[in-house]
Amino acid sequence: MTPRRAGTTKPIRLSRVINPTDRAPARLVVLASGTGSLLRALIAATTDAGYPAEVVAVGVDRTCAATGHADAAGVPWFTVAPGDYARRADWDRALTAAVRGYHPDLVVTAGFMRLLGPAFLGEYQGRIVNSHPALLPSFPGAHGVADALAYGVKITGATVHLVDEGVDTGPILAQEAVPVHPDDDEATLHERIKVVERRLLADVVAAVVRHGVVSDGRKARISW
Ligand SMILES: Nc1nc2c(c(=O)[nH]1)N[C@@H](CN(C=O)c1ccc(C(=O)N[C@@H](CCC(=O)O)C(=O)O)cc1)CN2
Ligand SMILES: NCC(=O)N[C@@H]1O[C@H](COP(=O)([O-])[O-])[C@@H](O)[C@H]1O
């Protein structure tokens, strides 16, 4: 049965890509590469009464401050660094195996600066949520804030999306606009975006866990 939205002629073929998690709390593995303020905010959100998920592990690809937030919260962490592997595919498989060991319901990439490969996507695609500091499809990639600033946009924002094999091309779950101020530099603009990301990511993760996601592969929506 493919639900037909009012006003459309072509049925949208939706398939449920994430079911509401019947295991409470849902198990989150968070991947990070940097200062980890999104991780810290997500960990804080999980301590709120009724939040439907917990961070069971943090994975990093390099030495970074994110592991300090994991330690402070008593969350185990692990490092899988590309430089420790002869081939990218070996790293991809090693990261997949490390994450598998924590049996996640959902993987969250929060400032994780590596592209997940076929092995990881083969196991977790549809259950990987990423936060990006721009309004996709504008300004994808590792430098979204700098690129938006250089372009001269007046409005940018944050995007939370499912991760696929492309670079920030996965189905979008939520977005929120953030104004660019005339005197902004990359750091001031990025921090203004991160304030939004820290809330939006936690809210979207909770909604995905509670309600699941349906998608036709290009579009996704949380099935409230
Ligand atoms: N398969 C995917 N993996 C990841 C995605 C994605 O959309 N598809 N999103 C990223 C996070 N991200 C943007 O939100 C992102 C991070 C890094 C890069 C990138 O080009 N990385 C380079 C190396 C960068 C570096 O560490 O020097 C690379 O991996 O070769 C693009 C987008 C999480 N993973
Ligand atoms: N394309 C990936 C990317 O740019 N991710 C971005 O890294 C920052 C991590 O902040 P944090 O280290 O303070 O959590 C966040 O703004 C996140 O969107």
Edge-to-edge strand ranges of the sheet holding 213-215: 15-18, 213-215, 220-222
Whether ligand 2 lies within 6 angstroms of the CB of 131 is answered as yes
Confidence of residue 24 (pLDDT cuts 50, 70, 90): confident
Q: ipTM of the predicted structure?
A: 0.95
- The residues annotated as belonging to the active site are 132
Confidence of residue 15 (pLDDT cuts 50, 70, 90): low
Nearest ligand atom owner, CA of 33: 2
Quote the pTM value: 0.93
Whether ligand 1 lies within 6 angstroms of the CB of 88 is answered as no
Which tops the pLDDT comparison, 15 or 147?
147
User: Is the pLDDT at 160 greater than 70, yes or no?
Assistant: yes
User: Is the pLDDT at 13 greater than 70, yes or no?
Assistant: no
> How much is the pLDDT for 223?
87
Whether ligand 2 lies within 6 angstroms of the CB of 142 is answered as yes
Mean pLDDT over residues 169-197, rounded? 98
pLDDT, tens digit, 9 for 90 and up, residues 80-134 = 999 999 999 999 999 999 999 999 999 999 999 999 999 999 999 999 999 999 9
Residue nearest to atom 19 of ligand 1 (CA): 142
Which tops the pLDDT comparison, 223 or 160?
160
Whether ligand 2 lies within 6 angstroms of the CB of 194 is answered as yes
> How much is the pLDDT for 224?
81
161 contacts 196 by C-beta, under 8 angstroms: no
Across the chain, what does the average pLDDT equal?
A: 93
Confidence of residue 12 (pLDDT cuts 50, 70, 90): very low
Distance 13 CA to ligand 2 centre (A): 32
Confidence of residue 10 (pLDDT cuts 50, 70, 90): very low
Distance 194 CA to ligand 2 centre (A): 8
Q: How many CB atoms lie within 10 A of CB 61?
A: 19
State the Cα angle at 122 between 61 and 125, rounded to 5°: 80
Nearest ligand atom owner, CA of 112: 1
Residue nearest to atom 18 of ligand 1 (CA): 142
Nearest ligand atom owner, CA of 129: 1
Whether ligand 1 lies within 6 angstroms of the CB of 124 is answered as no
Contacts with 37 (C-beta within 8 Å, 6 or more apart), sequence order:
111, 194, 198
Percent of residues, the chain, with pLDDT higher than 90: 87
